Structure 1
Amino acid sequence: MVNFDGNLVEDDTRILGHHNRGLKYGDGLFETMRCIHGKIFFWEDHYFRLMASMRILRMEIPMTFTLEFLEEQILQTVKANGLGDSAARVRLTVFRKSGGLYRPETNDIAYILECHELDAPFYLIPETHCQVELFKDFYVNRDMLSNLKTTNKLLNVVASVYAQENGYDNCLLINTEKQVVEAINGNLFLVKDSTIKTPPLMDGCLDGIIRKKLKEIITKMEEIDFQESSISPFELQQADELFITNSIVGILPITRYRKKQYGGNMGKNLLGKLNALARLG
């Protein structure tokens, strides 16, 4: 079942037309969340990021679009799909209503909620290898739009195709200054000795929820020096660990970049702390 503007419909119901602005112009935003036994991980963070992003894109936020209303809609959709007592991946997509060309006729919005079952309730370190390469065909812009989770993700799509064609599990994206920004599907963290780094938002990375939560965790670790600073391609091969973060997998260790192989002890340590935070939040 899919929730379209508060109405539950079957998955195969045709609810979007050719005039949809998300399709035509990428005029939309989305949040992807993990919901376990009726609890949405870090829901307030997702909600306030969505509200801030809608304001940046000058979308009209409905008066009904409260924290409680959207949470109720999400949980109803999860339950309607038989996932109320299990683990679910939820995607909330918000897009401007149809009309106009580049300039919209209205700033009113509509939304779609969809969900799918997950294998495990909490974040786990996968046993699979993750080999990455730099994607250099196109670049991430160093601006605020790159920080938003918009439905315009052509760079990520093309990078995914490149990775598949060349036998990589993921790619690292670089910005117009040739700084490493993020992975295809999440933020990037680098570990070297007792220092953990992640690129700053000004470099063009996504303003990720798990990125935010790990910042909270790491800054409380007295033995760790945390830095939000640019990462050069040269640093990748000097690092002890690299890992990718997003709201569905939590922490995904990178095992290989070119000839360099990485450990994963810090990622495993942080994953336990992240799961503990998710239980509380």
Structure 2
Amino acid sequence: MVNFNGKILEANTDFLNEENRGLRYGDALFETIRVVNNKIYFWESHYLRLMASMRILRMEIPMNFTMEFLQDEIKNSIAENNQQDKAVRVRITVFRNNGGLYTPLDNNVSYIIETKVLDNPFYILEDAPYEVELFKDHYVNAGLLSTLKSNNKALHVLAGIYAKENDYNNCLLVNEKKNVIEATNGNIFLVKGNVVKTPPITEGCLNGVLRKQLIEIISKTDDLELNEAEISPFEIQKADELFITNVISGIISVTKYRKKTFTNSTAKQLVGKLNARARLQG
């Protein structure tokens, strides 16, 4: 079942056409949300990011788009799919309505809510090998639009294809200054000693919800020091740990980058704190 503007539709129902602006121009935003036993993790952060992103893209925010309304729509979608007692991946897509060419006829929007069952209700740190490489064919521009979770993800798609074709688990993306800013599917954190480093939003990385949560957790952990600063490719080869974060997987420890291998002791420490925080905020 899919929720389209509040109407529950059977899976595979045709309800969009060739004029859809998300398809034509990538004129759309999305939020990927983790829900466990009908508790929406970090919902306030997701909601505020969505509203801020809609304003940046000059979309008209409907009067009924309150936190409570969208929360109810998410839970209704989960209920229609009989997933209330499961861990669920929810995607909300908001797109400008049909009409116009590059310039829209108006800024009104529609939304879609999809749900998919996840394997585990907890954030689990996998011990499997996880190798990454730099993707240097194209650069992410260090600007405000790059920080949005928009449908303009051609660069990330190409990086994912590059990783698959070369037997890597993921790729690290760089900006026009050739600094490393994120992975194809999440933010990055680098650990050297007791310092945990992550690129600032001004570098062009995604303004990630889990990034925000981990920054707050690390800042309150006595034996760790947070540093938001540029990361060069050279620094990665000198790091003790490197991990990727997103709200669905939690923390993904990188085990290898070129000839460098990494440990994961800090990631292990943080994943427990992250699970505790998620349960409290859910």
TM-score tier by shorter-chain length is: over 0.9
Summarize deviations over 1:172-210 as a string: whole Å, max 9, x none. Answer: 000000000000000000000010000001100000000
The structural deviation recorded for 1:222 is 2.1
Q: State how far apart, in whole Å, the 2-side matches of 1:196 and 1:207 are.
A: 17
Give, in angstroms, the shift of residue 221 of structure 1: 1.4
- Alpha-carbon separation, structure 1, partners of 2:8 and 2:129: 39
1:128-277 to 2 correspondence within 5 Å? 128-277=128-277
CA deviation map 1:97-141 (0-9, x unaligned): 000000000100000000100001111112321100000000000
Offset of residue 257 of structure 1: 0.2
* CA distance, structure 2, for counterparts of residue 86 and residue 225 of structure 1: 36
Shift of 1:224: 1.5
Q: Post-superposition shift, 1:244? A: 0.2
Q: TM-score, normalised by structure 2?
A: 0.99
Gaps of 5+ in 1: none
What is the distance in 2 between the residues matched to 1:223 and 1:98?
A: 52
Task: Give the residue type in structure 1 aligned to 2:24.
Answer: K
Aligned-pair distance for 1:223?
A: 1.9
Structure-1 residue corresponding to 2:64 = 64
Match of 2:126 in 1: 126
Q: Which amino acid counterpart does residue 49 of structure 1 have in structure 2? A: R
Letter in 2 for 1:167: D
The one-letter code matched in structure 1 to 2:274 is L
1:70-89 to 2 correspondences below 5 Å: 70-89=70-89
Alignment-mate amino acid for residue 276 of structure 2: A
Q: Normalising by the residue count of structure 1, what TM-score does the alignment of the two structures yield? A: 0.99
Greater alpha carbon shift after TM alignment, 214-223 vs 66-75: 214-223
Query: Aligned partners of 1:10 and 1:150: how far apart in 2?
Result: 26
How much identity, in percent, do the aligned residues show?
A: 57
Report the aligned-residue RMSD: 0.6
Q: Which amino acid aligns with 1:188?
A: I
Give the whole-Å Cα distance in 1 for the aligned partners of 2:209 and 2:183.
Answer: 15
Shift of 1:79: 1.2
Q: Which residue of 2 aligns with 1:20?
A: 20
Unaligned 5+ runs, structure 2: none
Aligned to 1:47: 47
CA distance in 1, matches of 2:116, 2:127: 22
Residue type at the aligned position of 2:252: L
- State the Cα distance separating 1:58 from its structure 2 match: 0.3
Whole-angstrom distance in 1 between the partners of 2:224 and 2:120:
30
Q: Aligned residues, how many? A: 281
- Residue type matched to 1:55 in 2? R
